[in-house]
Structure 1
Amino acid sequence: MTELLAAFLGAIVGGVLSAWVGSRQTAKVLNHETKLAATERQEAQRVDENRRRSFAADHLIAALANFTTISRDNRDRSANFVRVPATADVHLERNVRASTLLQAGSSQAHALQTELRERWDALTWMVRFNQSAQPERSEDLRRRDASDLLNYVEYVRRSLCAVSGDYPMPRHFSAPDSRREELRPWGFKPDEGCNEPDLTEWHFSSRLMGKVSFTSGEVRWYGPNGLVVDLPHEPTDASPSDA
């Protein structure tokens, strides 16, 4: 009787142990599969987020190119970016380009990472600021504002290019202070220790970025250092140098 009871208890204990070991193994497998699935979801989310950021950055780079591409017949470049004395056509064209850029930002900038979105927001403020009347502001400061804006556009453009891995992400620099009295443009020959990028080389270049249509129907893409690539001919129904 004692042996029978011992065998019975042994069978029970063995079954319990076997079930416990099995449940432990099953729990480990399920836990591993859960972690694997979570990792795969996180990776998929990361890839999707990077894709959305890259998509937004590409569209904003194109928007900046269109914003900075102006008629080659207009000699007063500043008037294309700030309110200084100019013809009504120049003012109208500037307003249209600014509106188009702001609209592009409203559609795409939300997909950018926080740091880059803050840079875009600062650029948006500068565009709006330079569109405002400000009758008390001197013309010299307005023309400096135009250089500030173009230099900051280049800084933001390089930041957007870094999203696609074409360039390293520029470190953070404070946006130009429109309240300062100094006439030196932001990013142009900054003093040592100044919280500005040194865009002097770019400042001296043509600085034309974007698509330019010629009367022949030829379309070319220009970057900060000149011609980037020839593009196929397009119909000539659009007016020359519009982009």
Structure 2
Amino acid sequence: MTEMLAALLGAIVGGALSAWVGSRQTAKVLKHETDLAAGERREAQRADQERRRTLAADQLIAALADFVTVNRDDGDRSAAFVRIAATADVHRERNGRASALLQAASTHAHALPEELRERWDALTWMVRFNQSKQEERTEDLRRRDASDLLNYIEYVRRSLCAVSEGDPVPPHFPAPDVRREERRVWGYKPEGKDEPDLSEWQLSARLVGKVTFTTGEVRWYGPNGLVVDLPQEPAETETPAD
């Protein structure tokens, strides 16, 4: 009788132990599968976020290229960015380009990383400031404002390109202070100031650069807007003399 009870107790204990081990293994398998599924969801969300950020950066780079495109022959580009003496046509063109840029911002800027949204918000504020009448502001300051804006656009463009290409984002620099009195352009020979050094770009042709869209399309933008790669014409062959 004792042996039967011992055997029965052993069977019960063995069965309980086996069930406990089985449940533990099942729980581990389920946890592994749950963690794996959660990891896959996080990776999918991260990839989707990166895709949206890249798309937003590409679209805003193109919008900046359109904004800085000024098709005028007199060479006074500053009139197209700040309210200095200019024709009514220049005013209308400037307002139109600013409106298009702000519309692109409202459509795409929300997808940018937070640090870039701050830079973009500062840029759109500068655009609005340069669009305001500024009746009390001297023409020299307004011209400096135009160069400040173009240099800050280049700084933001480089930040957007870093996001688009997966490179490290340039360090943060405060936006130009429109209340400062110095005539030096923001970003030009900063000499220890908390600004990026855009001196070479300031003196260059100010090319906007290449924009690669997620569709695979590649566009080049220059100082006068979209650059179209034209096919090379075949070299003319000389006609042999008679």
Give, in angstroms, the shift of residue 210 of structure 1: 7.5
* Paired residue type of 1:203: Q
The SS at the match of 1:18 is helix
Paired with 1:117 and 1:155, the residues of 2 have a C-alpha distance of 13
The SS at the match of 1:231 is coil
Give, in angstroms, the shift of residue 164 of structure 1: 1.9
Give, in angstroms, the shift of residue 179 of structure 1: 0.5
Paired with 1:132 and 1:147, the residues of 2 have a C-alpha distance of 16
RMSD of aligned Cα (Å): 2.1
Paired with 2:72 and 2:126, the residues of 1 have a C-alpha distance of 24
Bigger CA drift: 160-169 or 3-12?
Answer: 160-169
Q: Which residue of 2 aligns with 1:239?
A: none
Cα deviation code 1:64-111 (max 9, x no counterpart): 000001114142110111110000000110000000000000000000
In structure 2, relative to structure 1, the CA distance for the partners of 1:223 and 1:171 (3 Å cut) is farther
* Paired residue type of 1:131: Q
Paired with 1:210 and 1:160, the residues of 2 have a C-alpha distance of 12
Give, in angstroms, the shift of residue 168 of structure 1: 3.3
**Conservation of the 8 A alpha-carbon contact between 1:158 and 1:167:** no
Q: Which residue of 2 aligns with 1:136?
A: 136
The SS at the match of 1:147 is helix
**Structure 1: stretches of 5+ with no match in the other structure:** 212-219, 234-243
How many residue pairs get aligned? The number is 223
Q: Which residue of 2 aligns with 1:200?
A: 199
Q: Which residue of 1 aligns with 2:6?
A: 6
Cα deviation code 1:115-174 (max 9, x no counterpart): 001000000000000000110011100000000000000000000000122653110000
Q: Which residue of 2 aligns with 1:22?
A: 22
Which residue among 222, 229, 232 is the counterpart of 1:231?
229
Report 1:4-83 matches (<5 A): 4-83=4-83
**Structure 2: stretches of 5+ with no match in the other structure:** 211-218, 232-242
Give, in angstroms, the shift of residue 209 of structure 1: 3.1
Give, in angstroms, the shift of residue 183 of structure 1: 0.6
Q: Which residue of 1 aligns with 2:119?
A: 119
The SS at the match of 2:184 is coil
Q: Which residue of 1 aligns with 2:239?
A: none
* Paired residue type of 1:20: W
Report 1:68-107 matches (<5 A): 68-107=68-107
TM-score w.r.t. the length of structure 1 is 0.87
Structure number with the bigger relative contact order (C-alpha 8 A, sep ≥ 6) is 2
TM-score w.r.t. the length of structure 2 is 0.87
In structure 2, relative to structure 1, the CA distance for the partners of 1:229 and 1:128 (3 Å cut) is closer
